[in-house]
Structure 1
């Protein structure tokens, strides 16, 4: 429906009236607020064409994320970076996993549930293992310690997809 709105087939009121429940989903809420605060395109008082094109690209990226639910390289890379820092570059157990998930979610504009999905992928593919429940500790496996470059992270994402 959002695509129809931006192509001029339906009005803003029709779109907002039929918009699905967005309160519990971060990306739906983000899309709703972007639509609600759409910049005015005009030659005198509106935003520039470059700014409007950037706005449309952001909207279509959000829509694509919602439709495809694909894994993103940027998010996985940020999660790995946080895990490496928390583990002192694989030399110590990873503590405060919830704080790591929160930081990655905040910096990548994703929900915590989505970051947990990425974390579960790393656990399922034996890159990290849970070593203790109380206190909750994780460690990198030998296989996980070998992941250092962007190419390695891309391979993880391709293997899952």
Structure 2
């Protein structure tokens, strides 16, 4: 059974769908309390709060984490086959933003203003790495068949 040049394999589709599910992992896990920071103390000192850069970067990361599964679903489930590269870039960008915020802006204590120790969000790293691996495997799975079909049709000439 020959596939046309634009056809997608069921395994590649399953890997793309798995990438969307893996990218939504941090949103699902945080809704169950995994990775959320909770403060169990009350302070009466006057503290100015986090800087504008710190709060903006955390808000940006929060929005990117929420919107990434929607963007991936739109790109991969209905988009062109070459949208996998854009999806890999999007997952990598959100992962880099998450690691940057966790390492360089760990937050401050609400009462004293002292910096918290650096904690890497392992749930974010694990979910996004699974999504990246799934996307790369889906892209690699489609490429050899596409190259063979293009070569057989005469659109791709072998190198001399």
TM-score by length of 1: 0.33
Greater RCO, 1 or 2 (C-alpha within 8 Å, sep 6+): 2
TM superposition score normalised by structure 2:
0.33
Query: Of the two, which has the highest radius of gyration?
Result: 2
